[in-house]
Structure 1
């Protein structure tokens, strides 16, 4: 759900940047209606503004979540806020800004794991 000043974070593993791009791709019908991306399908998100999405695939996986988040917008706020919230393997991070996600995807198999939502401004 869109909400100004919040950012939601997902992390996970993909085989390639191309796989990540395909996962995040929003397609359109002939009438111009948006069809949800696989991210939207997996996490029951009807709509998010692509202009407020940042995603990165790391060829060399970072050693920590904090290392992965360095360089994203508002990293001076999001790195300390998410510190210690995830300790597993990751080679991908996806952030939706001005978006407040509340976990609803129990049992759904996805290459991404929802980490949390924080206020960034």
Structure 2
């Protein structure tokens, strides 16, 4: 799933930042395999955390305000669909990662994969 110049976007709704952190928390099993609830639910074997950005927000409904500050956002924000952002509170971006599976989850939803340009 690693692919240079691609960014995958998930959008979700969590009860709190702590619940989100728990969902993303990576642990090792007795075989030394790394996993998290997020990785398990979306069938992802490996995430390089240095290419991951996560934002938990509350009370914001403007897409530009929500995505302000994300890396390379100017190169792909126009491709992100409009939605009711006030009903969400979590953005997760994985850079140099091309995800394409459609897996239903109540907390977080894969939106799409976009090309990005490094500034």
TM-score band w.r.t. shorter chain: 0.7 to 0.9
Scaled by the length of structure 1, what TM-score is found? 0.85
Q: Is 1:9 matched up with 2:9?
A: yes
Q: Is 1:119 matched up with 2:106?
A: no
Q: Which stretches in structure 2 are left out of the alignment for 5+ residues?
A: none
Q: Taking structure 1 as reference, are residues 66 and 114 closer, same or farther at Cα in structure 2, changes over 3 Å only? A: farther
Name the counterpart of 1:41.
40
- Residue 81 of structure 1 contacts residue 118 of structure 1 at CA under 8 Å; is this kept in 2? yes
Name the counterpart of 2:90.
92
Name the counterpart of 1:78.
76
Scaled by the length of structure 2, what TM-score is found? 0.86
Looking at structure 1, the residues matched to 31 and 40 of structure 2 have their Cα atoms a distance apart, in angstroms, of 20
* Aligned alpha-carbon RMSD (Å): 1.6
Q: Which stretches in structure 1 are left out of the alignment for 5+ residues?
A: none
Q: Residues 76-113 of structure 1: CA distance to partner in whole angstroms, max 9, x if unpaired?
A: 1132221xx141321100000000000231xx433001
Q: Which runs of 4+ in 1 moved over 4 A?
A: none
